[in-house]
Amino acid sequence: LIQSGGKVLSKEGELVDLADSPLAGNVRIFTDYDPEWEIDPATLDMMEKIGEGEFGIVHKARWHGTVVAVKILKEAGAVAIGDFRTELNVLQKVHHPHTVHFLGAVTKTQPFMIVTEYMSGGSLSDIFRAQRFPSIWRGVQLALDCARGLAYLHARQPQAVIHRDLK
């Protein structure tokens, strides 16, 4: 599952539109969101910008005394909101030591936001672009950790999660 427009992985291993799959009508994209996860944006103290993608800007922030990462949706277009809802739906269901931990979201006011744990070591691309490259042993550990997280996502039932944006 999981890319713009609600794609799912078919039995043949291809991404197909959710509407064209046997799961059509059986998968709720956003209605699964639990209001328990709702965060009041006033409780987020934004710090520096740490990243940017096609649909969102990521900031380091403080939330109730804890440093977190906050992805802020750039625009409220139909495609961006669809991707946001899909990401939110997936994040709240994914629990594994090698995936980022979802903490909550802002969905009642704009801009919409997703709050996750803050990864103090930076992204994989940050690590591998650093002037001091990790040792071979550390590189192997990172690769294994990534593989474990991806294996967990790919093995999820009833639908595999296809990441498509590993950084």
Q: Which parts are annotated binding residues for ATP? A: 71
Peptide bond into 97 cis (omega under 30): no
Q: Which residues are annotated as a binding site?
A: 71
Cα–Cα distances (Å) from 154 to 13, 29, 91, 148, 163, in that order, read 11, 18, 14, 10, 9
- Please identify which of the residues 20, 45, 145, 165 carries the catalytic annotation: 165
Q: How far apart are CA 166 and CA 25, in angstroms?
A: 29
Whether 20 is catalytic is: no
Nearest to 124 by CA among 68, 165, 66, 74: 165
Q: Give the catalytic positions in this structure.
A: 165
